[in-house]
Chains A and B, each alone.
Chain A
């Protein structure tokens, strides 16, 4: 799809080659991930990840290098830059690269272009059946339990957390998948949103249109902190009553809150890397 546009970075190509995916004769994995498209797209993205932005990643070893798992973290910054940076850390920084499947909002696949790119990169609408199947296939999922409410946080609230859905926890319980909590700091600085236009969003078929300090939806070069915490294991079937599941979700939420707090302190240089408790 990007053959004439995007050149291949040999280092990225080697990392894509090392992914734990099976490609058929056309270079397509069973979920439609296209090896060639992925290599070209990630080659271009690597530049953005390394030079336009800069991501200080901590605790990458906490992410399982193989087998099922769910990365769960906070959303902020108008659009899902945080999701892209998590992808970048897993594909470009992890010792053994992995391609997380983000459970994305339905509206994305309704857009021409976005649908095509997301389909070839293995990014699907967050549907419980889809998530269950991917976990059983030993894939790594990426979930933002705040959903669009999370990205809609204005810059001043970027480090706060809004209501968490419980879907990720029920999936983790049902498939006995570890949950890796992460905290992401700096989203509110890259795209400082001052308002969200919901009416215009409805017209365009998106949840809202964020307006930044400089009006345009162009993020400024920013250094981010991304902190992965220790994997959390929960016991259950996934069919427990809401109160039971909510209590578990709250434990994850607290952990993420703590990771964001430490990330913020690092950012403000109040603590050093050695003082982190991940």
Chain B
């Protein structure tokens, strides 16, 4: 079976591609970025998903399945152009799947879709609407891309489409939103708040994506690993020193005083939890994670 992966050169793209090979899939990748150490078995086309050369890959290879991971966060891509990458990229992906006979599509999205607020419940289910795009505009394009991808569930019912909302990944690669936040020896937190953080080992996340493909899932699914852990506990377990900063100082000092470059809306994600219910995914696939909460953090801490 031939699988096309967009955004293959990213951390999760690479891990997923390698797992697909292990499981005996034929893998073709598209990415604007290079992947120098890619195994020979993977055919990598350096192209933008929105441009003609990417369409040619669909046309000439006629993949049976496709995985869309070419969406970017504000941490990676700061210009307003991000909206075009995320939305036009997702549209191109879905169009090409439909035009070139792809039978299965997997959209890899994020659990931050649900947003963080003082009154949001723990364990969001897939039917809940995104509640905080207005307080965190930098996430709005990802929320829209998620909803847009889900529209192909009724637009093209003949394609088995899985929209995955995966929690933060953590692991030895030290890539991803949570890893970047934990990068330094001292990690700031908002004084008086300590939200639960939901995370999964990056290998487990890649395995979950392959599992979604293997089960021909059709629908929207939250994907999580072990049960969530308070941010301060994660920081300490990762060998970092937590530093409590009052919310007002935090807001003023973003990008300065050693505080991370974050949009103001991100502060809510450091005050309130985003925790998802992934029962539907587990029931449909019998998926289980391999790394528990401590092993996951340890793999991040001990990586060089």
Residues of A at under 8 Å CB distance from B?
1, 24-26, 28-32, 34, 106, 109-116, 119-120, 124-125, 127, 129-130, 133
Contact = CB atoms under 8 A, between A and B. Distances in A.
Nearest to B237: A26
Given A25-B292, A25-B293, A120-B194, A112 B121 contact: no
9 contacts: A26-B293, A34-B230, A109-B119, A110-B118, A114-B192, A115-B193, A116-B192, A116-B193, A119-B194
Contacts of A109: 118-119, 272
Contact of A115 (B128, B237, B271, B292): B271
A39 to B, nearest CB: 16
B188 to A, nearest CB: 14
A3 B175 CA distance: 33
A125 B272 CA distance: 12
Nearest to A113: B192
A105 to B, nearest CB: 9
A28 B192 contact: no
Given A28-B229, A133-B122, A119 B237 contact: no
A26 B122 contact: no
Contact of A125 (B119, B232, B271, B293): B119
B120 A127 contact: yes
Nearest to B193: A115
A45 to B, nearest CB: 19
Interface string B34-60: 000000000000000000000000000
Contacts of A129: 121, 125, 128
A114 B193 CA distance: 8
Contact of A130 (B121, B228, B230, B272): B121
A113 B194 CA distance: 9
Interface in B263-295: 271-273, 277, 292-294
Contacts of B271: 115
Main secondary structure on chain B at its contact with chain A? Answer: loop
A27 to B, nearest CB: 9
B119 A32 contact: no
Interface string B219-263: 000000011111011000100000000110000000000000000
Interface bracket on B: 20 to 34
A26 B237 CA distance: 9
Query: What 9 pairs between A and B have smallest CB-CB spacing?
Result: A112-B192, A130-B121, A109-B118, A113-B192, A125-B119, A129-B121, A30-B227, A32-B196, A106-B119
A134 B55 CA distance: 48
A130 B193 contact: no
Contacts of B115: none
Given A28-B229, A115-B193, 15 more contacts: A25-B294, A26-B233, A32-B230, A106-B119, A109-B119, A112-B246, A112-B247, A113-B192, A114-B192, A115-B192, A119-B196, A119-B273, A124-B121, A127-B119, A130-B121
Contacts of A28: 196, 227-230, 233
B190 A112 contact: yes
Interface string B175-204: 000000000000000111111100000000
B88 interface: no
Interface string B10-35: 00000000000000000000000000
Nearest to A131: B121
Contacts of B229: 24, 26, 28
Given A109-B118, A109-B119, A124-B122, A24 B226 contact: yes
B123 interface: yes
A130 B128 CA distance: 12
A124 to B, nearest CB: 7
